[in-house]
Structure 1
Amino acid sequence: MSTQRTHHVTTTDGVTIGGTVHGRGRPLVFLHGAIGDGDLDWGRLVGHLTGRFTCHLPSMRGRGLSGDHPDLSPGRQVDDVLAYVDSLGEPAGLVGWSAGANLALGTAARSGTAARSGTVDAVVLLEPPMRGMMDGRERAVIVGAIARMGELAAGGDVTAAIRAFAGGPFSDEELAVAEEAGYFAAAGRYVPHLLSLLGQVESSGGPTVEDPAVLDAVSAPVLVLYGSGTMAFYRAGARHVAGHVRDGRMREIPGAGHAAPLTHPEALAEAITRFFGAG
């Protein structure tokens, strides 16, 4: 018998944030990356964890089971995650991939304030993208992937557009796995949302999660994971985060690149279980 169910919360600006829920045990909230949604990004992983954890897979506003809203700013996204976590009625662990890892960091930093202490009790980050860690070549690759996505989207081919964007951080082997799994065909509908999201992130003011002062506000234990075959700036970002949060550690996933939830779900599940199971 399936144990899948759903959970929803309404934010202060009236948006419903929803996600599927799987398994039983300690609550973990999984935050997806920029490309997909909760189920697309975590579907291959969650089955390895449901015997020990209650896995919540919410989607950001405008995706999956969540309602839409034009405000996709980083601060608003953190508010959404905090509303979701608060609605659980008990402390939860966060797991974030790529853009979702940065969102998890921002949420954990806000959770570390005196008024919210204990909302988030531990965090796993998979390759948080610290843009300040990029060298010129890496920046050109990512900027080029975004530009190509925009061109293809303007021509109406959203599947090719999202694949072009993924071609920045994903290796050729990862692109092939994602293609075969139907990941790009399913995520293509989010291209307009993603373009808006990227624009709002670029124009947002104030400190980012790369700021050491923001990272110092994260009081929960943090594990930063990265693939042995990933781009150098993801490894640099892992070192940066682990070196500035109060209780940080790093772990490499052998053979993985940026798309580990799609290509190495068993290894990722083992690292998550070891970290949260030790708490």
Structure 2
Amino acid sequence: MGNQGLHVERCGHGPDLVLLHGWGLHGGVWQDLAEALAPRFRLHVPDLPGHGASASITPYDLDALAAALAQVLPAGAHVCGWSLGGQVALRLAQHWPGHVARLTLIATTPCFRRRPDWPHGMDEASLAEFARNLEADYEGTLKRFLALTARAGEGARGVIARLRASLFTRGRPVPEALRAGLAILREADMRGELAQVMQPALVIHGSHDNVTPPAAGRWLAQHLPDGRLLEVAGAAHAPFLSHRAQVAQAVEAFSHG
């Protein structure tokens, strides 16, 4: 497995800060937050394999995604991941700890799917419907997912508009990568691995997140060895868009704290 074709945009000056996007999108989703942080950080913004300008990889799982990123990212960085990108950041911190000095996990859950011992996830029927719709109409499915991402939060219409506007600006995601990413969300259960993540971690979660429930973020912050929680009042699944200034301030303070 090579890393040729893994696209990383870099800008800014200061300590290294990595921004990892979520399922179905690309690094461009961070544009608003990146503009706020670039004066104080050296930003590294990859497109995950099979998304944006990055070629896909085989196999496609959390280990492979983290390994591909480890080849192109700086050591000792502050790694910030959103949703699926947060799960990748956790795996990177666990298996390549030298690359990760601290973690910010935005709208991240250790277990995306609801289970008998985990009520804080999406039900199996909804995930199965996403998988079926992805095969029939992946563009429509992505747009519906983006609407779900912002629904119930403050400024929902504007957040949805910004997400949709950026969706295909770097080309269309590879269907196999979308399928494999959804499989990660359905199957990954990282609860038993959190004790191995020793880096300081800031969990940022929206109070109105209906993709990864706020209780999942609270649980994550409580069970990371050095975790802390910022619950953003009124935010849904993309607080870095709806509450950019608050999130930027929190990331900067945590990075230097």
State the TM-score, normalizing by the size of structure 2. 0.84
Alignment CA distance shift 1:51-1:187 (3 Å)? closer
How far apart, CA to CA, are the structure 2 residues paired with 1:57 and 1:47?
12
- The Cα shift of 1:195 comes to 2.1
* 1:171 aligned partner, one-letter code: R
Alignment CA distance shift 1:24-1:200 (3 Å)? same
Judge which range, 123-132 or 228-237, deviates more. Answer: 228-237
How far apart, CA to CA, are the structure 2 residues paired with 1:240 and 1:97?
17
How far apart, CA to CA, are the structure 2 residues paired with 1:273 and 1:146?
35
- Say yes or no: does 1:46 pair with 2:22: no
How many residue pairs match? The answer is 249
- Say yes or no: does 1:105 pair with 2:90: yes
- Say yes or no: does 1:247 pair with 2:229: no
**Corresponding residue number in structure 2 for 1:18:** 7
**Corresponding residue number in structure 2 for 1:82:** 70
How far apart, CA to CA, are the structure 1 residues paired with 2:253 and 2:127?
36
Contact preservation (8 Å) 1:142, 1:168? no
How far apart, CA to CA, are the structure 1 residues paired with 2:64 and 2:121?
31
- The Cα shift of 1:203 comes to 6.1
Q: Which runs of 5+ in 2 are unaligned?
A: none
- Say yes or no: does 1:128 pair with 2:108: yes
Give SS of 2:217's match: helix
How far apart, CA to CA, are the structure 2 residues paired with 1:97 and 1:188?
20
Which of 186, 199, 205 aligns to 1:220? It is: 199
- The Cα shift of 1:120 comes to 0.9
**Corresponding residue number in structure 2 for 1:96:** 81
Alignment CA distance shift 1:202-1:137 (3 Å)? closer
**Corresponding residue number in structure 2 for 1:258:** 237
Residue by residue, what CA displacement relative to the aligned partner does 1:102-136 show, whole Å, maximum 9, x if unpaired? 11111111134xxxxx3211000001132256649
How far apart, CA to CA, are the structure 2 residues paired with 1:68 and 1:232?
25
How far apart, CA to CA, are the structure 1 residues paired with 2:191 and 2:171?
29
- Say yes or no: does 1:267 pair with 2:246: yes
How far apart, CA to CA, are the structure 2 residues paired with 1:65 and 1:188?
7
- Say yes or no: does 1:190 pair with 2:173: yes
Residue by residue, what CA displacement relative to the aligned partner does 1:213-243 show, whole Å, maximum 9, x if unpaired? x111111100001112223853222222222
Residue by residue, what CA displacement relative to the aligned partner does 1:137-158 show, whole Å, maximum 9, x if unpaired? 94167426614642xx525xx4
- The Cα shift of 1:75 comes to 1.0
How far apart, CA to CA, are the structure 2 residues paired with 1:263 and 1:107?
27
Give SS of 2:60's match: coil
How far apart, CA to CA, are the structure 1 residues paired with 2:203 and 2:66?
19
Give SS of 1:20's match: strand
Alignment CA distance shift 1:14-1:121 (3 Å)? closer
Which of 135, 145, 159 aligns to 1:165? It is: 145
- The Cα shift of 1:98 comes to 0.4
% identical equivalent positions? 25
How far apart, CA to CA, are the structure 1 residues paired with 2:200 and 2:231?
17
How far apart, CA to CA, are the structure 2 residues paired with 1:226 and 1:200?
20
Which of 167, 176, 188 aligns to 2:157? It is: 176
- The Cα shift of 1:38 comes to 0.9
